[in-house]
Amino acid sequence: MRVCVLYCGRGSSSQKLKEIAGALAKGIGSQGHTVDVFDIRLEGGKIISYYDYIVVGTESVSSWGGKIPEPVSRFLKQAGTISGKRCMAFITNGGIRSGKTLHSLMHAMESEGMYLKTSDILKNQDYAHAVGKRLHIS
């Protein structure tokens, strides 16, 4: 299956988030799936309709948590027909209210009609890789 891993940090570059998204993609790829990884800030207007499974990850825009970067919602609105697509949401461990940030991301994805199969707070690359290896995509 074709899998798309999207990530969007709070600033122009977030190395930790990029590394976690890459580790998650590597874990998913170890199951035999074709995985593409994109930075939402650099891929504005990209159509992702042809992917079978979509993973979206971000981090909180503040240390208090609860809000996601604006480019995430904007990207999902312009990403083509993604309604009904199976997906996963993740955030990196950061901020006091990480659960609220994850909830905000899930809400943005569900608002576009995406079918959320799972969500997680990924603390580091090793955990992200392990999650990717056991993620049920089929």
73 lies in a domain?
Answer: yes
pLDDT, position 45 = 85
111 lies in a domain?
Answer: yes
Indicate the pairing of strand 34-39 with strand 86-92: unpaired
How far apart CA 98 and CA 33 sit, in angstroms, is 29
100, burial (CB in 10 Å: exposed 0-12, middle 13-18, buried 19+): middle
Count up the domains in the chain and report the number: 1
Choose among 22, 15, 17: nearest CA to 132.
22
Terminal Cα distance for the chain, rounded: 8
| Residue 15 structural domain | 2-133
Q: What is the pLDDT along the chain (138 residues), one digit of tens a residue?
A: 999 999 998 775 588 899 999 999 999 999 999 999 999 999 888 999 999 999 999 988 877 778 899 999 999 999 989 999 999 999 997 667 888 999 999 999 999 999 999 999 999 999 999 999 999 997
Residues 50-81: tens digit of each pLDDT: 999 999 999 888 777 788 999 999 999 999 89
Asked if 99 and 70 count as a contact pair (C-beta separation under 8 A), the reply is no
Q: What is the mean pLDDT of the chain?
A: 91
pLDDT, position 54 = 97
Question: Which residues, including other chains, have CB under 8 Å from residue 120's CB and lie 6 or more apart?
Answer: 88, 89, 90, 131
CATH number at residue 24: 3.40.50.360
Global confidence as pTM: 0.92
3-state secondary structure of 1: coil
pLDDT, position 93 = 74
9 lies in a domain?
Answer: yes
127 lies in a domain?
Answer: yes
7 lies in a domain?
Answer: yes
pLDDT, position 12 = 58
138 lies in a domain?
Answer: no
